[in-house]
Amino acid sequence: QQKISQLKLFGRFSSAYINIMLLKNNFLLGLLLCIKISSSTVVVRKKASLSKNTATLTRSGGFSFPSFRKQQVTPTKEEDVSVSNYWYAVLHNWLYFLSLGLCIPTLPRVIASVVNEDGSTQVSARSSRIGGDVEGVDKLLTFLGVGALGALSDVVGRKIMIAIGALGYAMTIALQLSARRNNIKLLFIADVVDGATSCMNAVSSAYVVDSVQDPEKRAIAVGIFQGLSVGGAFIVGFPLAGILSNKNLAPRRPMMLACVLQIFNALLALLWTPESLSQKNRRPLASMLSFIRTDGNPVAALKRLFGKNADIILRAAAQAYTFAWFANLALNTVFVNYVNVVFGWGPQQSGPLLVVVGLMLAVVPRFAVSRFGLELSIQLGALIFALGYASIGIFARTNSTYFFFSIMICGLGAIVVPALTALVATRASDTERGAVLGALQTLQELCGAFAYPIYGRVLAAALQESSKVPTAAPFYLASACLLITLALAKLKHLGQDETKQKSSF
């Protein structure tokens, strides 16, 4: 409880400071404030069971790795695995998403420089369409393969798969950087590599579960893992991308750093990180192949959500989640291209706003869902999110201030996504909850495989000369999807039976 309250305090302070400092384009000071807050407010009490050679969080030093001695984690019945070992997973996932945060604001410009005939980095109709198609290939392959890669980590161990995920992303970035004018095939090859090796988050999550045997401590550890390794990485990555890609530096510079970080990440995994899965707990290869054929494939995962044997409310919640997640991906897909076309923003301007949005998505659900309950959070969230998207096209077509407030409205309405996730988890049985939540992640990748090409092509249609399609058309489409979510929630009374239950957010 003390850890949770301190993490909430960290979220409040960091959100306030970053809103003030980063939106003033004072990136360095904002970044220093993030580091100072994280090192001074997150305090973990020292316990006798923590080894001196494992990573710990301290008040004055933040992350501390006092020893490089290799340790083998072997769970036994008598002695639980040290809780501190999951910080290795936090570190690897943080480095991975730090690289992703460096690439997100700058990759559309790199794609534009490859696609545009004149080699310019300005977003065009063609670069928007191809960028969406490239990401769609990535998401499709991730949808098809992430379950198998996760199952493979049960056979060969976690650290080797963490290294493969890091090296795969490094190779992806290297291919993207090596692409030059009109070499579009290389962009698709790069995302094929990325989709075929994308398993970092899933395997790192499994590492956390391996390292913490106590169920109560495990829940806290997973929450800390997701918050720090994903949100914390983006807080640093987005502003840093803006700094490195300023007027005097090429937009490829942040991606170069991202590639180096992933090579370093892979070497750390291979040479230093202890294995969390002991030999006696590993799955035989034949058993893994049988699992993939029966339950470990994407079709079987989707059947858990939409199959005839699924709970009726669970099935309805999954249907609503499909439209909500598809709408949520509009920001991921066209945000950087949209602000470049409409406001002329580069990574320096878009990066800080992405940080603020990420913080809102991390902090707001923790307070709103528990206060309003699932039913109201789903319905009110879908409505506010839809209004936020619609207001981008109605009020913020040329005014950046109105656009900022529209994005803030979207951030408030995004509580619909974690609220539906909580509903799905609540309706699943105790024995299948993990599998159902894994199926939900599979559904996310499938939505991405369609959303990226569709939103990219809609924006491309708007950017054509003499086009009557509004530039904000992708956001109008997302708003319509959220209204479908709202209709399903009202018709199926989603969350009504759980309104008296307090969410774990």
Q: Which three-class secondary structure string do you get for 330-353?
A: HHHHHHHHHHHHHHCCCHHHHHHH
Can you say whether the dihedral through the CA atoms of 455, 358, 389, 396 is positive or negative?
Answer: negative
Of 278, 273, 358, 277, residue with least CA distance to 92: 273
Burial of 254 (0-12, 13-18, 19+ CB in 10 A): buried
Q: Which residues contact 438 (CB under 8 A, 6 or more apart)?
A: 147, 301
Strands (E), 62-147: 62-64
- Going by pLDDT thresholds of 50, 70 and 90, the confidence category of residue 224 is low
Q: What is the pLDDT of residue 473?
A: 94
Length of the chain: 505
Q: What is the pLDDT of residue 28?
A: 38
Q: What is residue 487's three-state secondary structure?
A: helix
Checking if the pLDDT of 344 tops 80, the result is yes
Q: What is residue 56's three-state secondary structure?
A: strand
Output the CA angle 263-264-265, nearest 5 degrees: 90
**DSSP 8-state symbol, 445:** H
Query: HSE (CB half, 13 Å, CA atoms) of 141?
Result: 17
Measured CA to CA, the distance from residue 161 to residue 155 in angstroms comes to: 10
Measured CA to CA, the distance from residue 459 to residue 474 in angstroms comes to: 6
Burial of 491 (0-12, 13-18, 19+ CB in 10 A): exposed
- Helical segments of 116-183, H only: 125-156, 158-178
| Whether the Cβ atoms of residue 444 and residue 426 lie closer than 8 Å to each other | no
Measured CA to CA, the distance from residue 79 to residue 37 in angstroms comes to: 34
Query: Percent of the chain scored above 70 by pLDDT?
Result: 76
Quote the tokens at residue 148.
Answer: 């198998």
Checking if the pLDDT of 261 tops 60, the result is yes
Q: What is residue 71's three-state secondary structure?
A: coil
Measured CA to CA, the distance from residue 279 to residue 13 in angstroms comes to: 43
Measured CA to CA, the distance from residue 172 to residue 107 in angstroms comes to: 12
Owner of token pair 């977003």: 123
Q: What is the pLDDT of residue 70?
A: 40
Distances in Å between the Cα of 320 and the Cα atoms of 95, 211, 410, 419, 444 are: 33, 34, 17, 11, 12
Checking if the pLDDT of 166 tops 80, the result is yes
Q: What is the pLDDT of residue 247?
A: 59
What is the end-to-end Cα distance of the chain in Å, rounded?
Answer: 13
Checking if the pLDDT of 23 tops 60, the result is no
Measured CA to CA, the distance from residue 298 to residue 317 in angstroms comes to: 19
- Going by pLDDT thresholds of 50, 70 and 90, the confidence category of residue 504 is very low
For the stretch 437-494, pLDDT in tens is: 778 888 989 999 999 999 999 999 999 888 889 999 999 999 999 999 999 999 988 8
- Radius of gyration over alpha carbons of the chain, in Å? 22
Of 413, 326, 421, residue with least CA distance to 364: 413
For the stretch 172-211, pLDDT in tens is: 999 999 988 888 999 999 999 998 898 888 888 778 877 7
Distances in Å between the Cα of 34 and the Cα atoms of 31, 92, 228, 277 are: 5, 19, 12, 34
Phi-psi region of 62 (alpha: psi -120 to 50; beta: other; left: phi over 0): left
Owner of token pair 């894994």: 438
- Poorest-confidence range of 70-74, 256-260, 310-314, 355-359? 70-74
Of 349, 22, 257, 301, residue with least CA distance to 147: 301
What count of other Cβ atoms lies within 10 Å of the Cβ of residue 284? 10
DSSP-based helix, strand, coil % in the chain, nearest 5: 75, 0, 25
What is the β-pairing status of strands 62-64 and 56-58?
antiparallel
Measured CA to CA, the distance from residue 36 to residue 14 in angstroms comes to: 10
Owner of token pair 């996310």: 444
Q: Which residue has the higher pLDDT, 112 or 232?
A: 112
pLDDT winner (highest mean) among 8-17, 19-28, 463-472:
463-472
Q: What is the pLDDT of residue 431?
A: 60
Average confidence (pLDDT) over 124-150:
88
For the stretch 372-395, pLDDT in tens is: 888 898 999 999 999 999 999 888
Q: What is the pLDDT of residue 1?
A: 53
- Going by pLDDT thresholds of 50, 70 and 90, the confidence category of residue 56 is very low
Annotate 347-389 with three-state secondary structure: HHHHHHHHHHHHHHHHHHHHHHHHHHCHHHHHHHHHHHHHHHH
On average, the pLDDT of the chain sits at 77
**DSSP 8-state symbol, 227:** I
Of 500, 476, 33, 4, residue with least CA distance to 223: 4
